[in-house]
Structure 1
Amino acid sequence: MKWARQAARVLVGVAIIAVVWLLLWADYRSAQSENGDPAFQAEFELTDHSGMVRTQEDFDGRWMLVFFGFSNCPDVCPTTLAEVAVVMDRLGENAQRVHPLFISIDPTRDTPARLAEYVPRFGADIIGLTSTPDQIERTAKSFYVYYEKVEEANAPGGYAMGHSSQLFLFDPDAGYEHSWQYETSAEEILSDLQGYIRQ
């Protein structure tokens, strides 16, 4: 009975996250300019998994694949990062023109040291980024990303993180270009990405 109540709470939390994300995404889509300008620019100042402070300017001239998640994520995050790794591998020479970034929405647990253990498992030169809770909150809002702490007794620290799960693509000027929803195949992401790079 206790397990059923806990499962129901988690499901309600996930449903709320989905609704809020859809509302945020609608606001974000409506913010797109009719003259073809990007809906928003990638802007951040975060610490990478080697302890260096990074901003979007560090990636000027390169496409960015950006995903928000957390290292204790049981499915969505590792699946998406694995897909990103496949995409980067299959880009061949064009891989030098793209940089994948993983931004943690769980800064309490995801220290640079923790990300240094987690992110390299996926290869593909993915950079893990974290910061203070306030800075992560500001960054997530600027990307129209929703996340929430969800109590879960069996999870490390007694909680998990519910979050929106799109993979973002930003152009070499850090302008938003495209996004893919969770469970989009590496083949589809690769095909789309190659099309953008060739433009």
Structure 2
Amino acid sequence: MAFRLSDHEGIEVGPEALIGRPTMVFFGFTYCPDVCPTTLSEISGWLDDLGEEAEEMNVVFITVDPERDTIEAMADYVAYFHPSIRGWTGPEDEIARAAQGFRARYERVQTDGGDYTMNHTASVFLFDATGRFTTMIDFHEPRKFAVPKIRRSLNEESEGAT
């Protein structure tokens, strides 16, 4: 899965940025009315529950709407959530390549009045420090199940290091 995107600070990133620490990845967009702000709020709560362990995580929000989600828009949006969350954007073809690599789905859907919204995978992908997929956290999955899944990804890193 090769792709080149930029984070919300304008730094070029790719799959190599996801190796070395356990990672959470969520696909969405800043104009999302419900799923994205809810999920990013839930991720923020999970990170709060992890305390200092949260510093060991990569947490990445990749837009599926690069037309509207510029670097500046991503920076403004992720600022509302936990400071560990990084927003990634880039050209449409690179977003498509990243989504394909994660097996995430998205599509542009026209709305009344000539505007559009985006349908997209609403789960959070979890990976261990080596980049191996470990599990998914479903939309609205209770915190009592989500946080232990994240802790398992963190522990898989330390077990692999011994």
Same fold (TM over 0.5): yes
Q: Which moved more, 1:121-130 or 1:103-112?
A: 121-130
Q: Which structure 2 segments of 5+ residues have no match?
A: 157-162
Distance in 2 separating the partners of 1:68 and 1:196: 19
Q: Are 2:87 and 1:128 aligned?
A: yes
Q: Are 2:10 and 1:55 aligned?
A: no
Q: Are 2:116 and 1:171 aligned?
A: no
SS in 2 for 1:121: coil
CA offset at residue 147 of structure 1?
A: 0.6
> Which amino acid in structure 1 is aligned with residue 147 of structure 2?
L
CA offset at residue 43 of structure 1?
A: 5.0
SS in 2 for 1:149: strand
Q: Which structure 1 segments of 5+ residues have no match?
A: 1-41
TM-score normalized by the length of structure 1? 0.74
Distance 1:133 1:86, change over 3 A: same
Provide the aligned C-alpha RMSD in A.
1.6
Q: Are 2:34 and 1:86 aligned?
A: no
CA offset at residue 165 of structure 1?
A: 0.9
- How many residues align? The count is 156
More helix by share: 1
Structure 1's consecutive aligned runs of 4 or more residues displaced over 4 angstroms after TM superposition are none
Of 36, 52, 56, the match for 1:77: 36
CA contact (8 A) 1:47 1:129 kept: yes
Distance in 1 separating the partners of 2:27 and 2:128: 18
Aligned sequence identity (%): 37
Q: Find the counterpart in structure 2 of residue 67 from structure 1.
A: 26
Q: Find the counterpart in structure 2 of residue 182 from structure 1.
A: 139
Q: How does 1:102-117 map to 2 (within 5 A)?
A: 102-117=61-76
Structure with max Cα Rg: 1
> Which amino acid in structure 1 is aligned with residue 88 of structure 2?
L
TM-score normalized by the length of structure 2? 0.90
